[in-house]
Homo-oligomer: A and B are copies of this chain.
Amino acid sequence: MNVEKVFVVGGGATKIGEHWDKSLRTLFVEAALEAVKDGGIELSDVEAVYVGNMSSGELQGQEHLGSLMATWLGIPGVAAAKIEAACASGSAAFHQAYLAVASGVYDCVLVGGVEKMTDAVVHDVTAALVMADDAEYTAFTGASFVGLNAIVYRYYMEKYGVKQEDIALFSVHDHKYAVDNPHAQFRFTVTLEKVLSSPLVADPIRLLECSPIGDGAAALVLCTEKFIKEKGLNVAVEVAASTAATDTISLADREDLTTLTATVKAAKKAYRTAKIEPKDIDVMEIHDAFTILGVIHLEDLGFAKKGEGWKLVKEGEIEKDAKIPTNLSGGLKARGHPVGATGVYQIYEIYQQLMGKAPNQVDGAEIGLAQSVGGVGGTVVINILRRVR
C-alpha cells in the first residue's frame, strides 16, 4: 500500500449571508475561481470537480451539480459528481477529492461546497434539513432538527449536572471571533445574557444558540506532489489525515446521547494516520450547529473528559492564544452554516491558518483539524492539515 501524498494549493470562499442576488451556481463559481487563482493554477489544470451539497434538489429543484458546475466554470469535460452526507456534505466531498488525488488517478482536483438556503423555491428549509434523519422513523413524527438537538442538550444537562449558562457560552465565543472574519455571516458580538434571553426555539435551545440559515460556497484545490513539481508551485500544506465514520442515523438507536461515536472513531483514525495526539493540534474548527454540540465535540475529540467540555470554554482554553484555539472563524453559529458548504469552509479556514493569513491568526500554527457532522452525528468527517515548510 502506497498512499499518494495530497497537498492543498489554493482556497476561496464567498461571504455567507442572504445572497438574494446570487444563485447556487454563481456562489460556487465565485469560490472556485478564487481557489484556482489563489493556487496559481489554470482552470484547465483541473481534472475533476467535487461538489458538496445537501439540498439543491429540495430547495432549488436542481440535481446533477457536477455537470452544472463544470459547465458554469467553463470546463465541461472534466470528471464531476455531487457528494451528499447531510450537513457533512462539504467535508465528505473533500474526503472524496482527497481519495481521488491519493489514488494517483487524478493529479489536480477542485472541491467546493455550496448551499443556498434562502430563496428556496421548492421546499422550506426545515423540511429539507430533517431529511438528514430517518424519514420513516423520525422525521415522520414531525421532529425538527433543532428539536432533536434539544433532546441531546437536555439529556447532557441532566446527566452531567451542567447549567445552560455554561453551555450557551459557546455562542458568545463564536460571535467574538466572527467580528474579524470577512466571510462570516454575523460580525457582531453577543452577551451571555442576550443569548439566554433570546426566544426559545426548542426547549432548552434558545435562538442565539442555533446556527443560522445562509447562502455560501467555499472551494479548495488539491493535488499530487508530481503536479506541484511539474507546475513549479511553492506548496506549504498537506493533508495529514482525512477520515470519515458513521453512526446510527437516529438518536433512538444510540446507547448514549451525550457522545458522538462517529467523532470518536473518525478522530482516533485521523490521529493515528497523522501520527499526532490532540495536544499537537494548534487550531481547529468544530461543527457547533448548536452550542451543546461544540461542548460535546471538545470532549469527543479528546480535549476534555465527558461532561467537562464546557469548562474549556468557560476557562478561556479555546481562545486564540490558549490551549486549543477553536472556531476562530466564528464557527457555525456566527461564521454561518450553509449546510453542504460548511465542511469546506472549515478546511479553508484551517488552510488559511496554516498559511499564516487567517483573520484571527494563531502564531506559528502548523497542524489544524476540521471536524464536520452530518445529521445528529450519523456522519462525521475529520480532516487534519499540516504545514510542511
Contact = CB atoms under 8 A, between A and B. Distances in A.
Contacts of A105: 3, 99, 102
A71 B249 contact: yes
A244 B57 contact: no
By size class, the interface of chain A is 35 or more
Given A1-B226, A63-B54, A379 B85 contact: no
A83 interface: yes
A131 B63 contact: yes
Contacts of A68: 134, 249, 378
Interface in A128-142: 128, 131-136, 139
Contacts of A71: 134, 246, 248-250, 253, 378
**Interface secondary structure of A, over-half rule:** mixed
A82 B79 contact: no
Contact of A4 (B1, B49, B62, B224): B1
Contact of A67 (B76, B99, B127, B374): B374
A260 to B, nearest CB: 12
A44 interface: no
A358 interface: no
A257 interface: no
Given A3-B104, A55-B57, A67-B85, A80 B244 contact: yes
A262 interface: yes
Interface string A72-88: 00001111111111100
A60 interface: yes
A64 B78 contact: no
A58 interface: yes
Nearest to A64: B86
Given A136-B23, A375-B67, A78 B131 contact: no
Given A103-B3, A104-B3, A85 B80 contact: yes
Contacts of A106: 99
A132 B80 contact: no
Of A65, A81, A92, A136, most B-chain CB atoms within 10 Å: A81
A265 B58 contact: no
Contacts of A54: 63
A261 B71 CA distance: 13
